[in-house]
Amino acid sequence: MTTRVPIVVGNWKLHKTVSESVATTDALVDLLPKRGRAEIAVAPVFTALMGVAAQLKGSRVALGAQDLHWEAKGAFTGEVGPLQLVDVGCAFVIIGHSERREYFAETDERVARKVRSALDHGLKPIVCVGESLQTREAGDAEPHVVAQVDAALQSVQPADLASLVIAYEPIWAIGTGRTASPTDAEQMHAAVRAQVQRSHGVPAGEGLRILYGGSVKPENAGELMLQPNIDGALVGGASLDAASFAAIVAAAD
Ligand code: PGA
């Protein structure tokens, strides 16, 4: 069995100014043990990327962005592309978060293009998938999530999966304080892995890291990450506070 390195990512969403982002970063770097088993990243707003990058230098925390445009350059007013993210020091980029799918017309097709573009420019995509409460109650959660994964990975080669992460985030658990039970989450993660093994081969699927997201807190992180197919967490609200994010990292370490 492959041993997957756990990864914990903080998604700061539309929170914090540059100075607030830098202050949180400083506090986080101070609190974290210098070394540990888990990989760590934080994803501030675009305008704070450069300031946060400077504070992260020499630390074990990598930088991530919350989105990108698939084109590298051109007449795309308002967009930020892969070259800019690499330039500012990003290693990761979150793609297809449910908030983007819901409020910003992100489709499976756009997600797939963004994933390909990120990989082509040396960025590691964190691809978000997840079902609504309505879909879960209708008993369709698994086929829905598996279809999102298939769509996102359609132009991804097996070798690319070493630098890609999937985040399963049930929409009804995001920012609601309601977490999927470790058993339910594990069941979905196992289904996603089985599907990727079918589409991209057993070794690539076995090595793929699948994060859980949705109201992850220091109190529930340990139990979730103990599940065999849960390889870390994508953390929203609890990542805004350095101490609570550090406690989640400690569970992953
Ligand atoms: P939450 O957000 O931890 O605040 O539920 C998770 C996410 O949306 O990535």
Q: What is the CATH number of the domain that holds 50?
A: 3.20.20.70
- Is 166 part of any domain? yes
In this structure, which residue's CA is closest to atom 9 in ligand 1? 236
Angle between helices 182-200 and 218-225 (to 10 degrees): 50
**For residue 252, what pLDDT is reported?**
96
Q: Which atom of ligand 1 is nearest to the CA of 216?
A: 3
Domain of residue 163 covers: 7-252
Q: What is the pLDDT of residue 215?
A: 95
Q: Is residue 33 part of a domain?
A: yes
Cα angle at 252 between 65 and 143, to 5 degrees?
65
| 3-state DSSP percent of the chain in helix, strand and coil, to 5 | 50, 15, 35
Asked if the structure places residue 1 within a domain, the reply is no
Catalytic site residue from 97, 106, 186, 189: 97
Q: Is residue 204 part of a domain?
A: yes
pLDDT tens over the chain, length 253 residues: 458 999 999 999 999 999 999 999 999 999 999 999 999 999 999 999 999 999 999 999 999 999 999 999 999 999 999 999 999 999 999 999 999 999 999 999 999 999 999 999 999 999 999 999 999 999 999 999 999 999 999 999 999 999 999 999 999 999 999 989 999 999 999 999 999 999 999 999 999 999 999 999 999 999 999 999 999 999 999 999 999 999 999 999 9
Residue 10 is given by DSSP the state E
Q: Does the annotation count 69 as an active-site position?
A: no
Which residue CA neighbors atom 2 of ligand 1 most closely? 236
Q: Which residues line ligand 1 (CB under 6 A)?
A: 11, 169, 174-175, 213-216, 234-238
Confirm whether 2 is domain-assigned. no
Q: Which is the closest atom of ligand 1 to the Cα of 176?
A: 5
In angstroms, rounded to a whole number, what is the distance separating the alpha carbons of residues 185 and 59?
31
Index of the ligand 1 atom closest to the CA of residue 213? 6
- The one-letter amino acid code at 26 reads D
Distance CA 144, CA 239 (A): 28
Q: Confirm whether 134 is domain-assigned.
A: yes
pLDDT attached to residue 2: 57
Q: Does 206 map to a domain?
A: yes
**In this structure, is residue 248 part of a structural domain?**
yes
Instruction: Report the separation in Å between the CA atom of 252 and the middle of ligand 1, taken as the mean of its atom positions.
Output: 17
**Using CA positions, which residue lies closest to atom 7 of ligand 1?**
236
Q: Would residue 189 show up in a list of annotated catalytic residues for this protein?
A: no
**Active-site pick, 99, 131, 169, 186:** 169
Domain total for the chain? 1
Three-class SS state of 74: coil
pLDDT number for residue 99: 98
What is the reported pLDDT for 3?
86
pTM (two decimals)? 0.97
Which of 49, 1, 40 is CA-nearest to residue 21? Answer: 49
